[in-house]
């Protein structure tokens, strides 16, 4: 299968080219030239299968023209070897727990898959590739751990100074080896803009082989579609007829993957985009006007994005039609005050502890279900301990810190400070 640019459908690339480039030469994002539609029997046969098998079946439908079966199976088995349970929180509302991977965040799925896929494509090539990535928190740690010690690859992570949680910062600044963290004097939007400028700088790209591990890279995006199929397959019989999935959303890669899964035939009635104060997409869905703006700092910092990259993919998927997109996707913005109150209320009433992003997803889902009765799933995208300050303040209770995080607290921070300036980034690279 070939992949085209959202800026020019006439530009085509192979899977290998799309993965190793990250972004198309015309600054567009890669999309598959066709999305296979799977039969109803495909979905009925998913019930009861483990995550790795569900992921492989979906991946094979997408990548069968580009890879040997055994190679794809090996990548799936090595990268997606942790549980993703669907947990009932209350009647007709379920949490898809995506925080059981190595860095306790949903981005382990895409980052680990991409690392192994890129390693597969580069294994016989005598060149070093630099993975350049911007993070608002969880992407950086997932990419760092996913690519740690992968031969022929160095990773450079840009993160906004003072705008990620302390434990998130430890996860991406304590590894060393082939992982370098750059602490940028600016916002996540500044970091993301620097990455995009670096990819479009011809002089830099002649000297450094750059690729991206943000959700702009199709290899990060596609594997996220796997767990939507798996979530549906875990629903009890009778609860899977009318399903609404609510996705905490920042850069909108996660929900783009869900919309691709729906296009493949996954029986999801509708998606709900849940944002914090950075609500440019909910505003677009309501008004038809897309007005990106500088990001606002919130307690759900992984969603602090004022100009989401994957908006271009969503529009491409729906033929640039506002009405078509709004038919499948609704959006709600949740305030910090309501987020913190929800963390406390959900725990007190149900015993379930959410992180700030999961709480945003839960509240938006509840808003939707007041208007349309359905089975609801919200994505719990990170372990509550990754946002321990917010969660403990909201609940007035201590949060147990998993050993994977506790072991980082006394490790030295390894980061280089740079200005939010392309020349500073180029000088470093």
Is residue 179 assigned to a domain? no
pLDDT recorded at residue 287: 97
pLDDT recorded at residue 192: 85
Closest among 274, 257, 278, 273 to 163, alpha carbons compared: 278
Please give the Cα distance from 237 to 350 (Å, whole number): 23
pLDDT recorded at residue 271: 98
Phi-psi region of 341 (alpha: psi -120 to 50; beta: other; left: phi over 0): alpha
What 3-state class would DSSP assign to 220?
helix
Is residue 56 assigned to a domain? no
**Whole-number Cα distances in Å, 57 to 48, 72, 134, 291, 374:** 14, 10, 31, 39, 27
Say if residues 135 and 172 touch (Cβ distance below 8 Å).
Answer: yes
pLDDT recorded at residue 342: 98
What tens-digit pLDDT sequence spans the chain (429 residues)? Answer: 999 999 999 999 999 999 988 889 888 999 999 999 999 899 989 999 999 999 999 999 999 999 999 999 999 999 999 999 999 999 999 999 999 999 899 999 999 999 899 888 888 777 788 999 898 777 788 888 888 888 888 999 999 999 888 888 888 899 889 999 999 999 988 998 999 899 888 899 889 988 888 788 999 999 999 999 999 999 999 999 999 999 999 999 999 999 999 999 999 999 999 999 999 999 999 999 999 999 999 999 889 999 999 999 999 999 999 999 999 999 999 999 999 999 999 999 999 999 999 999 999 999 999 999 999 999 999 999 989 999 999 999 999 989 888 888 788 999 999 999 999 999 999
For 227-245, what is the HEC assignment? HHHHHHHHCCCCCCCCEEE
Termini Cα distance of the chain: 33
pTM: predicted TM-score of the whole model, two decimal places: 0.90
Is residue 176 assigned to a domain? no
CATH number at residue 264: 3.40.50.1100
Place of tokens 């379930």: 352
Q: How many domains does the chain have?
A: 1
Q: Which residue segment(s) compose the domain that 227 sits in?
A: 79-102+220-401
Is residue 49 assigned to a domain? no
**Whole-number Cα distances in Å, 245 to 232, 254, 259, 270:** 10, 12, 10, 7
Active site residues: 107
Is residue 197 assigned to a domain? no
Q: Residue 340, CB half-sphere, CA atoms under 13 Å: how many?
A: 14
Say if residues 233 and 46 touch (Cβ distance below 8 Å).
Answer: yes
Is residue 315 assigned to a domain? yes
Is residue 187 assigned to a domain? no
pLDDT recorded at residue 46: 93
The answer for residues whose C-beta is within 8 angstroms of residue 56's C-beta and 6 or more apart is: 72, 73, 76
Place of tokens 């998913």: 46
Please give the Cα distance from 101 to 227 (Å, whole number): 13
Place of tokens 């209320």: 345
Is residue 414 assigned to a domain? no
């Amino acid at each position: 299968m070939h992949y085209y640019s959202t800026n020019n459908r006439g530009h085509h690339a192979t899977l290998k080219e799309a993965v190793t480039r990250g972004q198309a030469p015309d600054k567009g994002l890669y999309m598959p030239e066709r999305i296979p539609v799977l039969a109803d029997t495909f979905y009925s046969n998913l019930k009861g299968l483990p995550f790795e098998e569900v992921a492989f079946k979906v991946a094979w439908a997408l990548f069968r023209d580009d890879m040997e079966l055994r190679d794809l199976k090996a990548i799936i088995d090595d990268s997606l070897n942790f549980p993703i349970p669907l947990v009932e929180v209350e009647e007709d509302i379920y949490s898809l727990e995506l925080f059981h991977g190595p860095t306790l965040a949903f981005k382990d799925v895409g980052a680990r898959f991409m690392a192994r896929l890129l390693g597969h494509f580069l294994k016989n090539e005598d060149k070093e590739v630099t993975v350049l990535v911007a993070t608002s928190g969880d992407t950086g740690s997932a990419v760092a751990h996913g690519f740690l010690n992968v031969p022929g690859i160095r990773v450079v992570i840009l993160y906004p100074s003072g705008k990620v949680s302390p434990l998130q910062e430890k996860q991406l600044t304590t590894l060393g080896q082939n992982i370098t963290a750059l602490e940028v004097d600016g916002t996540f939007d500044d970091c993301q803009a620097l990455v995009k400028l670096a990819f479009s700088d011809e002089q830099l790209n002649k000297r450094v082989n750059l690729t991206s591990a943000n959700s702009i890279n199709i290899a990060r995006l596609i594997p996220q579609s796997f767990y939507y199929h798996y979530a549906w397959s875990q629903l009890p019989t009778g609860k899977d007829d009318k399903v609404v999935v609510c996705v905490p959303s920042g850069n909108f890669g996660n929900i783009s993957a869900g919309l691709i899964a729906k296009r493949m035939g996954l029986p999801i009635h509708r998606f709900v985009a849940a944002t914090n104060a950075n609500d440019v997409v909910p505003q677009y869905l309501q008004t038809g006007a897309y007005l990106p703006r500088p990001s606002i700092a919130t307690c759900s910092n992984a969603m602090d994005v004022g100009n989401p990259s994957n908006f271009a993919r969503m529009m491409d998927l729906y033929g640039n039609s506002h009405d078509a997109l709004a038919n499948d996707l609704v959006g709600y913005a949740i305030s910090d005050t309501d987020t913190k109150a929800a963390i406390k209320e959900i725990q007190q009433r149900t015993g379930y502890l959410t992180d700030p992003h999961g709480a945003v997803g839960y509240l938006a889902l509840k808003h939707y279900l007041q208007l349309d009765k359905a089975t609801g799933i919200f994505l719990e995208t990170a372990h509550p301990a990754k946002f321990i300050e917010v969660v403990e303040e909201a609940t007035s209770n201590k949060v147990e810190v998993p050993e994977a995080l506790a072991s980082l607290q006394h490790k030295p921070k390894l980061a280089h400070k740079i200005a939010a300036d392309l020349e500073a980034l180029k000088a470093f690279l």
